Amino acid sequence: MSEEARLVEWLRAARRVIAFCGAGVSAESGLATFRGAGGLWEGHRVEDVATPEAFEYHPELVWRFYAARQAALQEVEPNPAHRALAEMEAHYPEFLLVTQNVDNLHERAGSLRMIKLHGSLMEVRCTECQRVTPIDRPVDLGAEEEPALPRCRCGGLLRPNVVWFGEYLNPAHFEEIGTFFRQCPLPGSTGAAGGTLLLVIGTSGAVGGGYGLTTQARRYGARIVEINPELSALSLDVDLALREPAGQLLGRVWPQVRS
């Protein structure tokens, strides 16, 4: 049996699916990865425009960086991987999407039950009152010589609602992930074998060591599938690896599963 045929079989047998997605999923839509082009943007290291300290000392530069990323997001569309994952949510009795991406391509494809570990590019958060507000267009900073930084209704300076280097992720997200795994059928019970499937898609696994998702999957008896053209830091943890971009692969595989 081919690896692709085995994936089809496992997807058909699964009752619970959790997908862990990284930058490779959105790169297929044409979005540059966060560390693309050598990790530089206009001569600056990404870390210099993606830290709390950078925002404190150079908010105009940071906002120019994120406004440009928001504008780039308007020029791309969800690809077959985003759409397949959205359909999986409706297909499986229990489904959870965990993404490291800050774009809104999963939402635009129709995904609803989702954990965005690193925040959302299309949200702003007030640095004073902490109010989070979704936005539907890029922030307009006006003239470069006299930028108009976005402000909250309370007067506080707005920032992108993303997690920067040096900031903590939301612990409630990891509790939700842990709860999903803890509800796996016990070994030997009906539906335990192959009942839960972890899809690791388009992530290097370098950030946070994959946040322990493959470790939890192994502990609770879930099968682990990696979809990635390249080897990753998680490749040794998986049961099945398919070395192909997710959009191409799932564009072929998912119609076979749902038919």
Active site residues: 118
Give bridge partners of residue 258 from the DSSP assignment.
none
Amino acid occupying residue 83: R
Q: How far apart are CA 224 and CA 196, in angstroms?
A: 9
CA distance 114 to 30: 22
Alpha carbon distances (Å) from 105 to 70, 74, 80, 99, 210 = 12, 10, 11, 11, 21
Q: Which two tokens stand for residue 112?
A: 């609803």
Quickly tell me which residue has 């595989």 as its tokens. Answer: 253
How far, in Å, CA of 249 to CA of 231, rounded? 16
CB count in 10 Å sphere of residue 66: 21
> Do the Cβ atoms of 198 and 211 come closer than 8 Å?
no
Residue closest to 149 by CA, chosen among 67, 28, 43? 67
Q: Which two tokens stand for residue 199?
A: 């899809």
